[in-house]
Amino acid sequence: MVPLEASRLARHLSVAEQQFLQEHLRPQQHAAGERLFAEGDVGDGLYVVLEGQIEIAARSVPGREHRLAVMDPGDYFGEMALFDGGGRSASATAIVDSVVGFLTTEVVRELLERSPLLAAALVRDGSLRMREFNRRFLQESLKAERLALVERLARTIVHDFRNPLNVVGIAADIAAEERTPLAMRQSARDRIRRQVEVMNQMMQELLDFTRGFTISVSLPRVRLSVLLAEIVFELRAEADRRGMILCAEGAPPEVELRVDPPRLRRVFTNLAQNAFDALSGRPNPTLTLRSAVTAEGVVLEVADNGPGIPPEILPQVFEPFVTYGKAHGTGLGLAIVERIIAEHGGRISVTSIPECGATFRIVIPPARPGETDRLPRK
């Protein structure tokens, strides 16, 4: 057992002050697991640990406590309530069988009037404890944030993979059916291969999104008219399945771009899927694709006549994990879209009018003579 005069509370006191402390100290014994006080209780005094160990813990959510500190023999605790007059900011529980000394608020205040050194020591110890608390809080916050990010990323993968896996399952059933004509089997196999390619591409995008280093990407020259024809063909099937209208305004300009076709198709797939979700249940649901060549570069637009994006969400719409209007969405899709466009040396922006729809505007520089097909990306 630590004698009272050797404790952190009494070591700066004079012999007379230590004697005063000893006369007013109330020894208490607490069995392992016994709670001395709970968070929110009235703060009526200060405790000095004479023997054993006391855990100080605070609630983050109902039913869950986090350990803030462990008080060993010679330590004291419970002083915060003496200064602010509020309730206990944490709970105290005996870890093992322990002996503590209790000093009432009145006794401690009288002692503070007698000893300025004690007041300075309490302030110093309180500052050190706040530093330690802040360090622990930061660690716990970073841990919780990492876990939340992992959870969101897992939800994104599950959400994005659901449609390709459904297609693979249906196509596999068709291909395995003995009565299925040969042409349908071949078509089913082609669909399976295509969806496997889609999932591989999605996984690569997720991996690229988490990388912090610069890599290079091959960007061959592609005719915009050919690329848009392929994109419209893929999107029209989904629009027809959902009972929506896909409108490609005008003939695309005959210009070459330096692009990675599968990744650019992914951009339009992500934007279209978001639009289709927003258009569900709307009258005359329409998705419109536009293309033009301007002084800025090649401009591509994806517009819908849905409810639009809430104004409070609009400034953060391309940030990771910002989502709106989806029960299971995480917002990673648009962040990946912005990354892909940036990798092509372009930029993307969005405008929205409530109840009139949203328009995503992509600007990509046209291919220039003498350019190679390699472009560093971040």
pLDDT in tens, 185-199: 888 888 888 788 777
**120: in domain:** no
Residue spans of alpha helices (H) in 177-312:
182-210, 224-242, 261-279
Contact 304, 277 (CB under 8 A): no
Rg of the chain on CA atoms, in Å: 33
Q: What is the mean pLDDT of residues 156-165?
A: 72
Whether residues 234 and 176 share a domain: the answer is: no
**347: in domain:** yes
Report if pTM > 0.75: no
Band (pLDDT 50/70/90 cuts) for residue 210 is low
Whether the per-residue pLDDT at 326 is higher than 60: the answer is no
Whether residues 246 and 372 share a domain: the answer is: yes
**93: in domain:** yes
Among 210, 242, 262, where does a domain finish? Answer: 210
Whether residues 250 and 314 share a domain: the answer is: yes
Q: What is the mean pLDDT of residues 138-143?
A: 70
Q: What is the mean pLDDT of residues 251-270?
A: 89
Residue with tokens 């960007």: 219
Whether residues 252 and 318 share a domain: the answer is: yes
Band (pLDDT 50/70/90 cuts) for residue 179 is confident
Q: How many CA atoms lie within 13 A of 291 on its CB side?
A: 23
Closest CA to 102 of 84, 131, 82, 132: 82
More confident residue, 371 or 112: 112
Please name the residues in contact with 356: beta carbons below 8 A apart, sequence gap of 6 or more.
305, 308
Distance CA 44, CA 86 (A): 10
Closest CA to 258 of 235, 233, 227, 230: 227
Whether the per-residue pLDDT at 206 is higher than 70: the answer is no
Whether residues 101 and 180 share a domain: the answer is: no
Whether residues 200 and 239 share a domain: the answer is: no
Whether the per-residue pLDDT at 204 is higher than 70: the answer is no
Whether residues 369 and 274 share a domain: the answer is: yes
Q: Is 232 helix (H, G, I), strand (E, B) or coil?
A: helix
Distance CA 108, CA 120 (A): 14
Q: Pull the structure tokens for residue 97.
A: 């069988």
Whether residues 276 and 184 share a domain: the answer is: no
Band (pLDDT 50/70/90 cuts) for residue 12 is confident
Distance CA 35, CA 43 (A): 14
**140: in domain:** no
Band (pLDDT 50/70/90 cuts) for residue 97 is very high
Count the domains in the chain.
3
Whether the per-residue pLDDT at 214 is higher than 50: the answer is no
Name the residue type at position 346.
Answer: G
Whether residues 108 and 160 share a domain: the answer is: no
**129: in domain:** no
- The pLDDT value recorded for residue 373 is 58
Q: Is 123 helix (H, G, I), strand (E, B) or coil?
A: helix
More confident residue, 31 or 319: 31
Domain assignment of residue 76, given as a range:
4-114
Whether residues 100 and 59 share a domain: the answer is: yes
Band (pLDDT 50/70/90 cuts) for residue 268 is very high
pLDDT single digits (tens) 220-240: 889 999 999 999 998 998 899
More confident residue, 86 or 326: 86
Whether the per-residue pLDDT at 356 is higher than 80: the answer is yes
CATH classification of the domain holding 25? 2.60.120.10
**316: in domain:** yes
Whether residues 166 and 228 share a domain: the answer is: no
Whether residues 42 and 8 share a domain: the answer is: yes
**133: in domain:** no
Among 163, 185, 210, where does a domain finish? Answer: 210
How far, in Å, are 16, 93, 222 from residue 119 at the CA level?
A: 17, 26, 76
Whether the per-residue pLDDT at 267 is higher than 60: the answer is yes
**132: in domain:** no
